[in-house]
Structure formats: structure tokens, C-alpha cells
Amino acid sequence: MPQRWHRKLSPCVTRTFYNPNVLPGIILAAGRSSRFGRPKALLPAHGTTFVGGILAAYAAGGITSTVVVIRPGDQGLREEVARVAPAARTIENPHAEAGQLTSLVAGLNAVDGPGVEGAIVTLVDVPLVTSSTIGALLDARSRYPDAPILRATYRGRHGHPVIFARAVFEALRRADPAVGAKDVFRQCAGRVHDVDVNDAGVIDDVDTPADYVRLFGREP
């Protein structure tokens, strides 16, 4: 593995020689799905499930290690991840009721370790993101290694996935769960790099049954 050198300047500025082999993936799938009425990770999506499609896009886009954050006791989702992506891991977030940020932090804690440069994060609610978008984000990370955050955008609208550099992991851990990651985005204002992609899937968030019908043309 190439040697890495860091010169830490602030929570949002870190000089890094980027190694794409140490950017794990995180999928947040521990939400309550109260607006939808039932968990979404196992909903059908073009021959697979929401979580299955995202795991496939991650793998095809170049992510070699992925963690799926789940609710405690969600055996069905655990089994689905094992079936469609045996190399992926599931971890439980015992604090899932406290909000999405707790799942992000649980994922960061699971993937953090020597050599890790950051993490690429998406929501299971965004099931149609493509492998080409994953590749575009990884390419942008290699071209803008100093960016603390890179996020996928479509026609000017912010979406997912998002790459968080390791330099902001501690800021995310310290953030208020009631506010979420927005506070860290504010801290890094002016240094967040938007990666515009030709993929509406980065903003196609399924929150309600009506969203599902709009995207898939049938009832869930």
C-alpha cells in the first residue's frame, strides 16, 4: 500500500495522497420508515431489492468493502445482505431511534481504521443510484483529494452518495443528532465539492408509497 502523508490543517482541511483502495462504503438502512409504513431496504427494485441494487452499484463502481447499518434484530435485512453480497457486513445501530446521524456514526466507527481515507455513504432510500455515479465520485475524490466532502448532484440538486474524508469523521461524531450532518456541511462551507452526474437516481428518494409508484410504475 502506498504511504500516506497527512498535514492536518482544520477539521475541513487535510492534505492527503489519495489511495482509492481504502475508501469503504456505508449504506444507512436503520431508519424507521414511518412515512412509508414499512421498512424499505427489502422492497423490490428492478429484479433485486433496494439494498441489493445499491450493493451491486457500489461493487461495480469500485467499492470493495461495504457496511450496511441496520436496526437491532432486523434478521431479514441481515440475511438479504448476506445473500446478495457475501463480502459486505451488517452492523446494528442500537441508537437508531435517535436519528440518522447515529447510523452514520455507527457506520464510520465500523469502517474506520489504519489507512482509511474516508467513506462513501448513501441512504437505502435512494435505490437507483448507478455504478457510473459511484465511479464518478471516486474519480472526483482522486482529483480533489483535499475536499473534506464530495456529494453527488443532479441538475444542481444535492443528493447521495456523499464521500466524507476521514478529516471530518470526528466532527460528525461530535455533531448534534438533532441537527445531523448539516452542521458539518456548514463548517466546511466553501470546501464541499459537488460532483454533477447524469443520474437522476442520486435525488430519487423513496419516502412514501407514492414515490415508489412514481419510480417503479406499480404499487410496492
Burial of 112 (0-12, 13-18, 19+ CB in 10 A): middle
Query: CB-based contacts of 70: which residues, under 8 Å, 6+ apart?
Result: 29, 30, 41, 77, 78, 90, 91, 92, 93
Question: 18-212 maps to which CATH number?
Answer: 3.90.550.10
Dist. CA 167–CA 116, nearest whole Å:
10
Q: What is the pLDDT of residue 5?
A: 36
pLDDT-above-70 percentage for the chain:
90
**Predicted confidence (pLDDT) per residue in 29-49, tens digit:** 999 888 898 889 999 999 999
| 91 vs 220, higher pLDDT | 91
**Predicted confidence (pLDDT) per residue in 95-112, tens digit:** 999 999 999 999 999 999
Q: Are 67 and 24 in contact (CB under 8 A)?
A: yes
Q: What is the pLDDT of residue 2?
A: 34
**Predicted confidence (pLDDT) per residue in 159-174, tens digit:** 999 999 999 999 999 9
Question: What are the structural domain ranges in the chain?
Answer: 18-212
pLDDT-above-90 percentage for the chain:
85
- Its pTM stands at 0.90
Spatial CA neighbour of 30 closest among 84, 91, 112: 91
